Structure 1
Amino acid sequence: MLDDSIKTQLQAYFERITQPIELIASLDDRPASAEMRDLLSEIAAIAPAKITARFDGQDARRPSFQITRAGADMGMRFAAIPMGHEFTSLLLALLWAGGHPPKVEADVIEQIQAIEGDFVFETYMSLTCHNCPDVVQALNLMAMLNPRIRHVAIDGGLFQQEIEERQIMGVPAVYLNGQMFSSGRMELPEILAKIDTGAAARDAAKLSTKAPFDVLVVGAGPAGAAAAIYAARKGIRTGIVAERFGGQTLDTLGIENFISVPETEGPKFAAALEAHVRVYDVDIMANQKVDQLVPAAQPGGYATVKLSNGAELKSRTVIVATGARWRNVNVPGEQAYKTKGVAYCPHCDGPLFKGKRVAVIGGGNSGVEAAIDLAGVVAHVTLVEFADQLKADAVLVNKLKSLPNVEIHVSAQTTEITGDGQKVNGLKYKDRVSGEEHTVALEGVFVQIGLVPNSEFLKGTLELSKFGEIVVDAKCHTSVPGVYGAGDVTTVPYKQIIIATGEGAKAALSAFDHLIRTPAPQA
C-alpha cells in the first residue's frame, strides 16, 4: 500500500522512536481488513526493531487497530485505514506512542494529564475531510497522555451502519461516552475547555496580567497574520488574539491563486501563516473569542479588548481582522437540520452522501465548484440559484452543464429545507418568474451563498456598512482613531487571500505611523 518514497520518509521519521510500539489489529473477513493487515505489516517491516504488528485484537469494531507503547494500554485507535488527510494523524500517533514528544506547551500537557474522570471519545470522519485531522490528532494526543481517556477515529465509509444509526450527516462528528459532544472543526484548547470546566477562569486570569500592547491584532487569518508580522518587524510590542489560526483558509481545500505558490491546500497555508508569525516576537493568544472593543478614552490612550472568558487586553492601537464566515440561507429547516443533512463544506461532508441526492444553493464560483465536486460522488445534484443566471466563471458553468447527473434551476428562491424530524428529506423553492412552488426530494443540502463579516461585536463602536463590513479608507483607518480594519471584515473590495494579506500589512504600517506621531500614555 505504501510506495517506496513514502517508506523512505517513514524510515527517517521512525528514527525518532525511542520506545517500542505495538499495533494490535482486530479484523474480520471484509476486504478492508485485508488492506489494514497489509498496511500495518508494511509499517512494522520498516522498523522491525521498534514496531510490532499483531492481529489478535478483540475489539468489537472491526476492522480497527490500536497504537500503544509496548507493555502499556494507550487509548489511541483507528477504525479506519488512515490514508489521505489522516495519514499525518497515523504518523503522529506512531511517533507519540514511540516516545517522541508532541509539539505542545508544557502547561497544556500538564492540564491533560491532570484531567479526572473517564472519557471515551468516538470521532466519525472521512478521509477526504481536511478539518477532521485536527480533531483526531487532538483527541489522540489526549488519549496518549492520560490513561483514562480513550479515542477511536472511525471512517464513516467503513462503518456505514453506524453512520445511519446515529444519523451522522457531517464530519467530524465527536461522541463522548455515547452522547453527541461536538460537530465540526475543533482544536485542542476548545476540547479541553469543554471537559475541563475551570480552564476558562484560569486562562482569563493569566491573560489579564499581560502588559499593554503597542499593536493588538484581533483575528489570525491572512490579514491578521500579515498585520502581526509587519508590526513585529517594527520592534514594537505586538499581540494577536483569535479563535483559530488561519481563519477561512482552514475551510478551503485548494488554493491556486496566491502568487508565487502555484498550488496548496487551506490547512497547509494556515499552518504556514502561523509558522511565519512565530518567527517573530508576537504574543499569540489563540482559541480566544473577542466580545467587545472599547476605544481609548482619550487620544493616545489604551483601547480595551474584552474576551468572552472575562479577560481584558489593552493596547495603544488595535487592528481588527476577524474575517467572514459562510452565509446562512435563513429559511425554515436550515438550523434544525444542520449536520443532519444541511452542510457547508462539500469536501468534508460530500463523501457521506455517496449515492444519494443533494442540492447546492448558490450559483457563484463556490456553488458551481461544489456542485461539480459532488457530482462525482453523489447520485444527483440539483443546483438552485436565486438570480436569473449562474454567476460563476464561464469555464465552471460549461463544466457543470456537461455533467449528466446535474440539474440547474435559476430564478429559484429557496423557501424551506424539509425533514422527517431526524434528517433532511427535501428542499422547496419558488420559481421567481412563474411563482410556481416546487419540491425536490433529496438527502442533503449544501449552502454556498457567500460570506458574512464577523463584526457583530463592533456594532455601536465602529462605523459599519449596510452589509456589516467595517468602513475603512485607503490606509485602513476606521471611524475611531487608533483602530484599523483589514481583510474580509472590511469594505475593501474583492475578498481574496492575497488582498487580505496586503491589507493586513497596510493596517500595521498605518498603526505604526499612528504610534510614532502620538505621545505614549503616561505610566
Structure 2
Amino acid sequence: MALDPNLATQLKAYLDNLREPIELVASLDESPKSAELDELLVEIEGMSGQITRRVAEGSDLDQRVPSFAITRVSDPAVSVRFAGIPMGHEFTSLVLALLQVGGHPSKASQDLIDQVQGLSGDHHFETFFSLSCQNCPDVVQALNLMSVLNPGITHTAIDGAVFPTEAEQRGVLAVPTVFHNGETFGSGRMELAEIVGKVDELSGGDSAARAAEELSAREPYDVLVVGGGPAGASAAIYAARKGIRTGLVAERFGGQVLDTMSIENLISVPHTEGPKLAADLERHVTEYDVEMVRSQAAAGLSAGDDGLTTVDLANGASLSGKTVILATGARWRTMGVPGEEDYRNKGVTFCPHCDGPLFKGKRIAVIGGGNSGVEAAIDLAGIVGHVTLIEFMDDMRADAVLQRKLRSLPNVEVRLGTKTTEVIGDGGKVTGLAIEPRDGGEGEQLDLEGVFVQIGLLPNTEWLGDALELSERGEIVIDGVGRTSLPGVFAAGDCTVEPYKQIVTALGAGSTASLSAFDHLIRTSAPDEESAIAATKAADGPLEAGDQIDVPDSVGASA
C-alpha cells in the first residue's frame, strides 16, 4: 500500500524527529493484506536512516497475520503492535507510535506521565478498532503511549475488519473495545487520564483519592466552565481573554462533536471532521491560561451563602466559582425498551461510522427517520446485508433528497408507524427486535444482529436535580444572555432550551454566557456607593468641613 504523496511528505518530515533507532518487525503470509502491509513498511523504512525493517520468523512470528511491531532497538521492551494496516483515522496513531518508540517526547502532561510510569503490575491491552472510527484513535494512542512509558504494559491495536472471526468470537460489536489481560476493560471513547485511573484502581492504587483531594483544595475560580464541547470551549476562551481566573472541567473534551463524522456548515470552514474540530478547539483553549480538569463528570450543583457556587464531581471532589457556566451538552437518546441496556455495545450501538464495519453482510435495524437515521441507513446499506429503518411516526422527518436516496436502495426496508418493544438477544449479543404497529395490532420479531439508534438527543442535566429551573424536557432554562434561575450561574449549548442544536449556535452561546458572567462579576464585586465615596475622599486628601466618617461603637470617646 503506497502512501499518498502528500501524506508521505508529511510523514517523512515527522520522522526527522526520531531520536533513537527503531525496528519494524512484520508478521506476514502470502495474503494480499500482507503484501499491502509490507509495501507500507518498506516505504516507511526508506524515509529515515533510523528505521530498519525485517520479516518475523519462527518464534518471532505473531499469532495475528498481518501485523507488525514497532520496537526500540536499544530497549526491545519499548514496543507497540498493530494487527492490520493502520490507515484511515488510525494513521495518526501510527505516526505517533513511530515517534514515541523512537524517543520523541509525548505532549501529555508530566503529571499524567508520572502516573503511567508509577503503575505497578503487568498489563496486557488489546484494542479492537475500525479504520472509519473517529473515537478509536484516542484510545489506541493513549494505550500505545502507556506501553512506551511503562515496561509492565503492552498494547496491540487490532483492526476488527481484518480479523472478523476473532472479533466475533470475543463478542466485539462496537469499537473501540479494549481488553485488559484477556478480560473486557471498556468500550467507547476513553481519555488517557480515565484509563490510567482505572488501571490504578485495578492495581489497588489510590490516585483517584489523591486527585479528588487536590481538586477540592483549589481556590475558587472567577469563572468555572462545566463541559468541554463547542459552548464550553468558547466560554473558557472568552473568560480567559478577560484576564480572570478560569477553570474548565469536562468528562471528555469535544462532547458530541467527537461523534460527528462530517461537518460542512461551520461558517468559513467548508468541511471538517468532528475529532479534528474538537482537537482544534482544545488547542485554542490551551493557548490561554485555563486550568483544565479532564475526565471528570459533574454530579451536583449548589449555591453557598458566601456568593460561591460549588460543583460536586463524581470522584468525590468539588470545585467552586464566583460564576459558573454550564455547557454539559447532550447525548444520544435511547429507546427505553427492555434489552436495550443489556445489549449496549453487544449489537445496540449509536455510531454507524464507527461500528458499521463490524456488521458487514449482516441484517441490522436503524431506529429513527430523521436526517441522522436516514443518513445512517444509507451509509450502512453499502456495508451490511440488509437494513430495516423503523420510524415511530407515519412519515419520516428527513430531508426529501435523503428519503429519495434511501428508497432507491435495494437492500433497505422502511417501516413507518412502528414502535420497538424489546431488544432480543442470546445473552451475549443481539439476535432480534420485537416491533408492533404504533396504533395497535399484532407484533412481530425481526431477526437481525445489530440495532443502530438514531432518535435525537437528551440534555446532560440529570445531575442538576432541582438546583435551578429546567424545562419539561430537562433543558436548562435561560434568558437571552445565558442567565439561569440561579444568580451567578449561566448556561449555553445543547443542554439549554436553545431550539437549534448546532455547533455554530453553541459557539456563540458560549461566548454570550461568558460575557454575561464577566458582567455579573463586575457588578457583584463593585463596592457599594457609600464605600466608594469614602474611598475616593480618602484618596483625595485630608478631611474637610462637612465630611462624615463612620466610627465603630468599639472606639471610645474619651478624648
* Separation in 2, partners of 1:468, 1:63: 49
Asked if structure 2 preserves the Cα contact closer than 8 Å seen for 1:302 and 1:521, the reply is no
Matched, 1:347 2:348: no
Q: Which residue number in structure 2 is paired with residue 437 of structure 1?
A: 443
Give identity over the alignment, percent. 61
Report the residue type matching 1:51 in the other structure: I
Q: Secondary structure at the residue paired with 2:223?
A: strand
Q: What is the match of residue 258 of structure 1?
A: 266
Residue among 164, 189, 211 paired with 2:193: 189
* Aligned residue number for residue 21 of structure 2: 20
Per-residue CA deviation, residues 85-144 of structure 1 (Å, 9 max, x unaligned), is: 110000000011111111111121111111110000000111111101100000000001
- Helix, strand or coil at the partner of 1:196: helix
Is 1:483 matched with 2:483?
A: no
- Residue 521 of structure 1: how far off its partner (Å): 10
What is the CA–CA distance in structure 2 between the aligned matches of 1:187 and 1:177, rounded to whole Å? 19
User: Does residue 220 of structure 2 align to residue 217 of structure 1?
Assistant: no
SS state at 1:329 partner: coil
Structure 2 match to 1:164:
168
Partner residue, 1:90: 94
The residue type equivalent to 1:490 in the other structure is T
1:434-513 superposed matches below 5 A = 435-513=441-519
Amino acid at match of 1:53: R
Residue number in structure 1 paired with 2:212: 204
Residue pair 1:139, 1:188 contacting (<8 A) in 2 also: yes
Q: TM-score, normalised by structure 1?
A: 0.97
2: CA distance between counterparts of 1:3 and 1:373? Answer: 25
Once the 2 structures are TM-superposed, how far is the Cα of residue 28 of structure 1 from its aligned partner? 2.1
Task: Output one character per residue of 1:451-507: Cα deviation in whole Å (capped at 9) or x when no partner.
Answer: 110001111101111111011111111111111111100111111111111111111
Counterpart AA for 2:274:
G
- Which structure has the larger Rg over C-alpha atoms? 2
Report how many aligned residue pairs link the two structures.
519
Q: Write the distance in 2 (CA, Å) between the matches of 1:452 and 1:329.
A: 11
2:385 aligns with: 379
Unaligned runs of 5+ in 1: none
Hey, what does 1:68 align to over in structure 2? 71
Aligned residue identity for 1:108:
L
Provide the rounded CA distance (Å) in 1 between the counterparts of 2:426 and 2:497.
Answer: 41
The farther-off stretch of 135-144 and 55-64 is 55-64
Amino acid aligned to 2:397: K
Question: Could you tell me whether the CA contact under 8 Å between 1:183 and 1:339 is conserved in 2?
Answer: yes
User: SS at 2:494's partner residue?
Assistant: helix
CA distance in 2, matches of 1:424, 1:434: 25
Question: Is contact 2:79-2:101 (8 Å) kept?
Answer: no
- The 5-angstrom pairing of residues 271-290 of structure 1 reads 271-290=279-298
Contact 1:75–1:149 at 8 Å: present in 2 too? no
Taking structure 2 as the reference length, the TM-score comes to 0.91
Classify the secondary structure of the residue corresponding to 2:353. helix
Matches within 5 A, 1:30-179: 30-47=31-48, 49-56=49-56, 57-73=60-76, 74-179=78-183
Q: What's the offset of the Cα at 1:434?
A: 5.4
Match of 2:376 among 367, 370, 378: 370
Q: Relative CO higher for 1 or 2, CA cutoff 8 Å, sep ≥ 6?
A: 1
Alignment RMSD (CA, Å):
1.3
Deviation of 1:339 after TM superposition, in Å, equals 1.1
The equivalent of 1:409 in structure 2 is 415
Deviation at 1:4, TM superposition (A): 2.3
Residues 439 and 13 (structure 1 numbering): CA distance in 2 closer, same or farther, change over 3 Å?
A: same
Q: Could you tell which deviates more after superposition, 50-59 or 359-368?
A: 50-59
Q: Deviations over 1:7-26 (max 9, x none)?
A: 22121111111110100111
Q: Deviations over 1:421-474 (max 9, x none)?
A: 221111111112452312211110000011110001111101111111011111
Q: Deviations over 1:299-349 (max 9, x none)?
A: xx1111111222221211101000000011011111111111111000000
Q: 1:352 to 1:258 in 2, by over 3 A?
A: same
Answer with 287-296 or 478-487: which moved more: 287-296
Gaps of 5+ in 2: 529-559
Q: Tell me the equivalent position of 1:330.
A: 336
Deviation at 1:72, TM superposition (A): 1.9
